[in-house]
Amino acid sequence: MPNCWRRGQVTAEFLIVIIALLAVFGFSIAVYSSNSSYLSENSELSGAMVSASEIANALDSVSTAGDSSSAEFFFKSMQDLNASVGNGILTIMHQHGITEVALHSSSVDFSGFEFNKRLKFSNNSGTVVVGLAD
């Protein structure tokens, strides 16, 4: 067999190996990007659950401390979260859904709540009022 045929065969085999490696690399990238989005979603959900628990604990601690009690809190959020209270349930809305936590205190004025600000929670005659701290 002439040498030129062997060179052609080696080149064809080399190209097949390179194409197979590129296919494996492309598949790996696709799997990685898919899992990366799931990781981001789970991270956001986790952060929302932690924030909801911390806020609920703060509201409940001021409520159970009795009339005229107050405390200052700071709730840091690196995400785009919105919090609201209604019917004894604290709701945290985030990009991938809603997280809810039941509150022990049924009467809450939550209109002054903001993330990334120092807040004062006060118990005024059984109603927990949330506002900006002085």
Helix (H, G, I), strand (E, B) or coil at 73: strand
| CA pseudo-torsion sign 57, 60, 61, 62 | positive
Domain hosting 81: range is: 3-132
The list of the chain residues with pLDDT below 50 reads none
User: What DSSP character marks residue 67?
Assistant: T
Query: How many domains, the chain?
Result: 1
What are the tens digits of pLDDT across the range 6-31?
566 677 888 889 999 999 999 988 88
Q: What pLDDT is recorded for position 1?
A: 52
Regarding beta strands 127-132 and 118-124, do their DSSP bridges make them parallel or antiparallel, or are they unpaired? antiparallel
Q: Nearest to residue 50, comparing CAs of 85, 71, 87, 78?
A: 78
